Amino acid sequence: MNSDPLLRLLADLVAIPSVNPMGRGRTGAGYSENDVAVCVEAYLRAHRVDCRLTEVAPGRPNVTAFVDAGADTTLLLEAHTDTVNADSMTIPPFIPEVKNGRLYGRGSCDTKGSLAAFLHGVCSHLDAGCRLRFNVMIVAAADEEYQFSGALHAVAGGLKADFAVVGEPTLLHIVRAHKGVTRWRIVTRGVAAHSAYPERGENAIYAMGRVLGRLEAYGTSLRGSPPHPLLGPPSFSAGVIEGGEAVNIVPGRCTLEVDRRTLPGETAAQVLGEAAGVLGGLGGWSFDPPHLSVPGMEVSVESPAVRFLSLALRDVCGETQVEAAQYATDAGVYNGAGIPAVVFGPGDIAQAHTAEEWIDIENLHAAAAVIRRLIQH
């Protein structure tokens, strides 16, 4: 590992837990991006790249670096620093192991592999004294796995770039379109009463049952709605339901958390309006404001993000594949802010969030070579 600086960097990043607390009240060093951000900062400074940490939330920073090449065009390279939890992993999550051409550990694939490849691609190029074709901004962003707040914070802070590559495990394919997602809670309220006298109360679970019936039909109808040429139709899923305090109490409240996958151009307001229309005529329900909303995105094949990355890929790998994905990423946030962004990185999404997460080391090196080729003057 020590003779391979890229692999060393990735192992260092994987060895630092940065599990997203996902709003579940988990705290402590392992449940924040801080330590991995400090590691990224140290790596950049060791390669004489100036950078800074900005807090997205207490103890949860983004790292932002800017390499000024005096160029007219600025490329943003972004990858998130958080991971999903390691509760159900069957390998030691934070003791990176190299075996059979793979590096194992939580985050190796999603998406510390991309982060390491981007950092190493840029820094090895600078260390070799090579010139840059673009100014390069690097953002190592917090909180992609839950609320996309790192990318949202970067955009709200006025981040400017002409195009962007967002690191996620795409097997070095260029993802130029993906769905967005809006999540919110639906609440039904009733009147609590002794369960021996149900007529004295109003049952919030029954009320939610009526809501659910309509929502199930809505989800089915969406499957038949006009499909996007790359992404198919939008979708809806009811995910988490909670209601009632005890079996001998008529429940006064029930909540349902729902997930609507959106097509590029669909907004959260449109989606909530549509769902409210579906529930028209039913009483006793209300919507909480969305706790997550990231737009879908679609970038033209003619955009610089696709063109420049395709050329670099062709030079390094001999071929390039441009496709669409169903999952949402930070690229939706950048596209929403007017920065054309594609998704690209080493590793396979099939290994993301799994019990034995790993990344193919050859794929990792190819990604770094593509980034180097992309920024080469």
**Could you list the residues that contact Zn ion (CB under 5 A)?**
110-111, 168
> Cβ-count burial of 267 within 10 angstroms (0-12 exposed, 13-18 middle, 19+ buried)?
middle
Minimum separation from the CB atom of position 375 to Zn ion (A): 22
Q: How far is the CB of 276 from Zn ion (least distance, A)?
A: 32
Tokens 């943003």 belong to 76
Find out whether 126 and 118 touch, Cβ atoms under 8 Å: no
Nearer to Zn ion, 112 or 125 (CB): 112
The span from the CA of 3 to the CA of 186, in Å, is 54
**Rounded to the nearest whole angstrom, what is the least distance from the CB of residue 80 to Zn ion in the complex?**
6
Q: Return the SS3 of 206.
A: helix
For Zn ion, give the closer residue by CB, 315 or 323: 323
Of 12, 144, 168, 266, the catalytic one is 144
Nearer to Zn ion, 169 or 243 (CB): 169
Q: Hey, is 16 helix, strand or coil?
A: coil
Q: Minimum distance between the CB of residue 330 and Zn ion, rounded to whole angstroms? A: 8
DSSP tag of 47: T
144 classed as catalytic: yes
Which CB, 168 or 357, lies closer to Zn ion?
168
DSSP alpha helix (H) spans, the chain: 5-14, 34-46, 112-127, 149-156, 204-223, 268-278, 304-317, 330-336, 361-375
Phi, psi of 315 (to 5 degrees): -65, -40
Nearer to Zn ion, 33 or 168 (CB): 168
Quick one: which of 81, 110, 107 has its CA closest to 92?
A: 107
The nearest distance, CB 130 to Zn ion, in angstroms, is: 29
- State both tokens at 256: 């349902």
What does the angle CA 226 – CA 285 – CA 261 come to, to the nearest 5 degrees?
30
3-state secondary structure of 99: strand
Nearer to Zn ion, 343 or 369 (CB): 343
Least Å distance between CB 37 and Zn ion? 16
The CA-based angle 321-323-327, given to 5 degrees, is: 135
CA distance linking residue 175 with residue 334, whole number of Å? 14
The active-site residue out of 82, 202, 298, 360 is 82
Is residue 82 part of the annotated active site? The answer reads yes
Residues catalogued as catalytic: 82, 144
